[in-house]
């Protein structure tokens, strides 16, 4: 829908440079009511303009005249409340969501402080981000309480079993080694260039 693509005011960096979203909404209402495709295209965000050409917007406006008229009417309803938000995207794909309250930017959602996932897609997005950051703390946060408790219990048991590594029986075969750790854990090691590395553990 065309309305979803519109940028109701571009946000500046300073508090004083934030445009009034209500005026932008009224401008959009006037353009929608007139079926002004060129004017609506000018209101699109840079990202939306990459997806839709002016010709495509003209076609959409032509096909959605009644819907645009209904939106224009709704935007003029008394008591209309508008919320100004901004999303900052970083080079690695992570983002922070900001909202404006009392003329000041406030952090709404940031990948470093993830909100609770309300959909499976959001949970998967958070999983991807914490893995990309190699964040153990972040990974623990996105797990279900049951899985988290089980994993923490396994790790706690492994830590206790490794309290005296020198007293464990290490079975070395060439450049590979296997260690049975108290608590039912098995640690596999591999040597490369004279240096031993943990290859796997359970």
Q: Phi and psi of 2, rounded to 5°?
A: -60, -40
Inform me whether the pLDDT recorded for 16 exceeds 70: no
**Taking residues 111-120, what's their average pLDDT?**
60
Residue 94: predicted pLDDT: 58
Chain segment 146-168, per-residue pLDDT in tens: 888 888 888 889 888 888 888 88
Residue 174: predicted pLDDT: 92
* Cα 69 → chain centroid: 34
Chain segment 48-62, per-residue pLDDT in tens: 788 788 988 888 888
Chain segment 72-99, per-residue pLDDT in tens: 888 888 877 777 776 666 555 556 666 7
Cα 73 to Cα 39, 53, 113, 165, 168: the distances in Å are 18, 26, 39, 73, 76
CA-angle at 52, arms to 47 and 56, nearest 5°: 160
**Taking residues 116-125, what's their average pLDDT?**
68
pLDDT confidence band for 173 (50 / 70 / 90): very high
User: Which residues is 170 bridged to in the sheet?
Assistant: 179
Residue 78: predicted pLDDT: 80
What is the edge-to-edge ordering of all strands in the sheet holding 195-201?
A: 170-173, 176-181, 185-192, 195-201
When the pLDDT of each residue in the chain is averaged and rounded to a whole number, the result is 76
Residue 52: predicted pLDDT: 81
Structure tokens at 5: 């693509």
What is the edge-to-edge ordering of all strands in the sheet holding 95-101?
A: 85-89, 95-101, 104-110
Instruction: Name the range with the highest mean pLDDT among 24-28, 100-104, 116-120, 178-182.
Output: 178-182
pLDDT confidence band for 8 (50 / 70 / 90): very low
């Amino acid at each position: 829908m065309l309305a979803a693509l519109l940028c109701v005011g571009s946000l500046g960096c300073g508090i004083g440079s934030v445009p009034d979203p209500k005026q932008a909404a009224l401008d959009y209402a006037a353009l929608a009511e007139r079926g002004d495709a060129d004017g609506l295209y000018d209101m699109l965000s840079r990202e939306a303009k990459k997806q839709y050409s002016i010709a495509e917007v003209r076609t959409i406006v032509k096909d959605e005249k009644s819907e645009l008229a209904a939106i224009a009417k709704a935007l003029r309803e008394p008591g209309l409340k508008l919320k100004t938000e901004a999303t900052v995207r970083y080079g690695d794909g992570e983002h922070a969501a900001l909202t404006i309250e009392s003329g000041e930017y406030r952090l709404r959602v940031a990948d470093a402080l993830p909100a609770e996932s309300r959909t499976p897609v959001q949970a998967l997005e958070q999983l991807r981000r914490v893995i990309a950051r190699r964040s153990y703390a972040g990974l623990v946060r996105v797990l279900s309480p049951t899985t988290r408790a089980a994993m923490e219990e396994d790790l706690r048991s492994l830590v206790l079993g490794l309290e005296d590594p020198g007293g464990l029986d290490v079975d070395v075969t060439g450049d590979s080694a296997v260690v049975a750790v108290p608590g039912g854990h098995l640690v596999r090691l591999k040597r490369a260039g004279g240096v031993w590395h943990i290859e796997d553990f359970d």
